[in-house]
Structure 1
Amino acid sequence: MAVFTPVSDADARELLKRYTLGELVTLRGITAGIENTNYFLTTTQGEFVLTLFEVLTFEQLPFYIELMHHLAQRGIPVPQPQTLLDGTRLTMLHDKPTAIVSRLSGGYEPAPSPAHCALAGKTLARAHLAAQDFTIQQPNLRGLAWWQATVPKVLPFLDDDQRALIEDTLNEQTAFAATDTYGALPSGPAHCDLFRDNVLFDGTFEMPRMGGFIDFYFAGCDTWLFDVAVSVNDWCIERHTGVLDPERLRAWLDAYAQVRPFTLEEHAAWPVLLQAAALRFWVSRLYDFHLPRPAQTLKPHDPRHFERILRQRRGPATPTLQDY
């Protein structure tokens, strides 16, 4: 855990008095994750995940918690936030905002097949449509405004070629965001961080079943095409080069489009949004690598991975949606 807040069995028992989730059976820390403290929590009524939020404030959290509740109520496989006796879904523990959510079954697939990609694409399209009537509005906090504020902070750590790449891309994204094409893109609540380790699968490798989407704490309102681009830049690439894999990409996009067909504006915007998705994570990884938070204890991801992906997406081989 990046920031570890110890929770004892006695703490958990006291916390459970605020819910109707039964009695504590076991409590076990989860080592994965870089933003929050997480525990697997087993009670006499089921299996849950207990999260203490180390960065997000109590006031920032309702968007994420209520979005998961909204999606779960509509049959989308996401962690269901549990409701306290007072009717809310957020509380405090050790002076940290705290939530308990249902634990989904399955595990993440580090080397997804086209079948995994198709399941993820279909489920993301269903989630986008299910969130259309969600009433809380919050922008993607790692969107264009954040890139514009953060790129100047990381420029001193880049060489001339990298500076030119990041500044040229940012300028192009800023200009594109002001166009009619961008303004016409379908948008709404989006996950914005649907990497392969944020999706769980049941079943076998040959016949996977969707377990669900997790870790909504980078979610925000954005174009749905940006959400798709973030996903395929992780799911559908050759890991060492960033080159898109045609078979997995076709499986992802076809499955998504069967649920929510892409618009003409999305076809036009696809190459630019693929670059936007790569820029977003290159900037955030540069920032985490060179300007880590004092409490951050996990080793930051290598920023060069998304630099490679961005260079690939700016090359002549970037496909259009019509190719799939």
Structure 2
Amino acid sequence: MAVYTEVTPAQAAALLQQLGLGELLELRGCPGGIENTNYFASVQAPDGARHEYVLTLFERLGFEQLPFYLCLMQHLAAKGIPVPNPAPDASGQILHRLLGKPAALVNKLPGQSVLAPHPAHCAQLGTLLARMHLAALDYPRQQPNLRGLAWWNQTAPEVLPHLSPAQAALLRSELALQNELAQQPRYHSLPRGPVHADLFRDNALFEGDRLTGVFDFYFAGCDTWLFDLSVALNDWCIDLASGQPDASRSHALLTAYQNLRPLSAAEHELLPLLLRAAALRFWLSRLWDWYLPRDAAMLVPHDPTHFERVLCARVAHA
């Protein structure tokens, strides 16, 4: 989260009134994340109850793309998955307009992120990820993962001039490997559907040791479930200092996931390559944000060297 577009309390209050949610009590900019403008809004409902919401103005995604994400959240929430549920207006529309930009208002989930997870946290995350994949099987909308292979191929030339020769060689070789994999029948046999594609530890919430929900679906798209699983493994089950995988956390997450959705033979075979793909994706995006930043209040770009270490560790363990 970040603040690219300043929203005044009066502007936020007008949207709340339009949605019939009540009176704005407090509006606070959110410091985390890098893609959109986000605010926390405390609201007093017409019945006097106090509720917390997240107001998002979308800075890159357009009106034509956003129904995929918002309706996916609505679909999962209707199936009992603990995700933010977009607030509709009187006509049922969940995509709104504020300051000329697409906007959404969702309920703020309870809990706090666990930034140093234990195997028990990873197991709960694995279970919920499998539930999400299965719950989205009948989701009717289609949209590709917009940060998938096509974006990697487009973005790599923009960041290569900023890299050392060794880094550039690593980026080129891994990108070539993923382009080759994408042409193989065994890759096309992988189960796929709507995926979160950004399920890091700071996108999940816990109350005590209980997982209360996941959020930030604005990188979601249709991709392989194995890629989604790999993204989670590359964050929840990695030692942050070294980038090395943690065996106990990896085992807990994978076991819990497979208790609900066992991996196919092709998924077992290709997991090492998809772990490298997931590391490459976030190394590339962090390089892009680091060297080609956008102006935003409260924005602190993530250090790209972390996912360079993760990628090197996945290559070494291939």
TM-score bracket relative to the smaller structure: over 0.9
Choose from 57, 76, 79 the match for 1:74.
79
Number of the residue aligned with 2:152: 147
Q: CA deviation at 1:217?
A: 0.7
1:179-218 equivalences under 5 Å are: 179-203=184-208, 208-218=209-219
Tell me if 1:310 matches 2:311.
Answer: yes
Compute the RMSD of aligned alpha carbons: 1.5
Number of the residue aligned with 2:48: none
Q: CA deviation at 1:288?
A: 1.3
Tell me if 1:53 matches 2:58.
Answer: yes
Choose from 95, 111, 116 the match for 2:116.
111
Structure 1: state its 5+ residue gaps: 319-324
Q: CA deviation at 1:27?
A: 2.5
Judge conservation of contact 2:192–2:225 (CA < 8 Å) in 1.
yes
Percentage identity across paired residues of the two chains: 56
Structure 2 CA distance for aligned equivalents of residues 247 and 18 of structure 1: 49
Structure 2 CA distance for aligned equivalents of residues 137 and 102 of structure 1: 25
Tell me if 1:258 matches 2:259.
Answer: yes
Structure 2 CA distance for aligned equivalents of residues 35 and 314 of structure 1: 29
Choose from 100, 113, 123 the match for 2:105.
100
Deviates more, 1:48-57 or 1:251-260: 48-57
CA deviation digits over 1:219-241, x for unaligned, max 9? Answer: 11110100111111111011111
Structure 1 CA distance for aligned equivalents of residues 165 and 6 of structure 2: 44
Alignment partner of 2:193: what SS?
strand
Matched residue type, 1:243? Q
Number of the residue aligned with 2:273: 272
Number of the residue aligned with 1:31: 31
Judge conservation of contact 1:3–1:35 (CA < 8 Å) in 2.
no
Q: CA deviation at 1:297?
A: 6.2
Structure 1 CA distance for aligned equivalents of residues 281 and 31 of structure 2: 25
Deviates more, 1:49-58 or 1:266-275: 49-58
Q: CA deviation at 1:294?
A: 4.7
Structure 1 CA distance for aligned equivalents of residues 90 and 233 of structure 2: 41
CA deviation digits over 1:148-205, x for unaligned, max 9? Answer: 11112211112222122111111111111111110110101101111100001112xx
TM-score (norm 2): 0.94
Alignment partner of 1:32: what SS?
coil
Alignment partner of 1:188: what SS?
strand
Number of the residue aligned with 2:163: 158
TM-score (norm 1): 0.93
CA deviation digits over 1:288-314, x for unaligned, max 9? Answer: 111223558623221111111111111
Structure 1 CA distance for aligned equivalents of residues 299 and 24 of structure 2: 29
Change (3 A) 1:295 1:103: closer
Structure 2 CA distance for aligned equivalents of residues 167 and 253 of structure 1: 30
Judge conservation of contact 2:239–2:245 (CA < 8 Å) in 1.
yes
Structure 2 CA distance for aligned equivalents of residues 154 and 40 of structure 1: 33
Tell me if 1:131 matches 2:132.
Answer: no
Structure 2 CA distance for aligned equivalents of residues 201 and 193 of structure 1: 17
4+ aligned runs moved over 6 Å, structure 1: none
Number of the residue aligned with 2:183: 178
Matched residue type, 2:23? E
Alignment partner of 2:18: what SS?
coil
Judge conservation of contact 2:282–2:307 (CA < 8 Å) in 1.
yes
CA deviation digits over 1:74-101, x for unaligned, max 9? Answer: 1111000011112100111111211111
Number of the residue aligned with 1:245: 246
CA deviation digits over 1:233-256, x for unaligned, max 9? Answer: 111011111111111001000000
Number of the residue aligned with 2:173: 168
Matched residue type, 1:104? L
Structure 2: state its 5+ residue gaps: 46-50
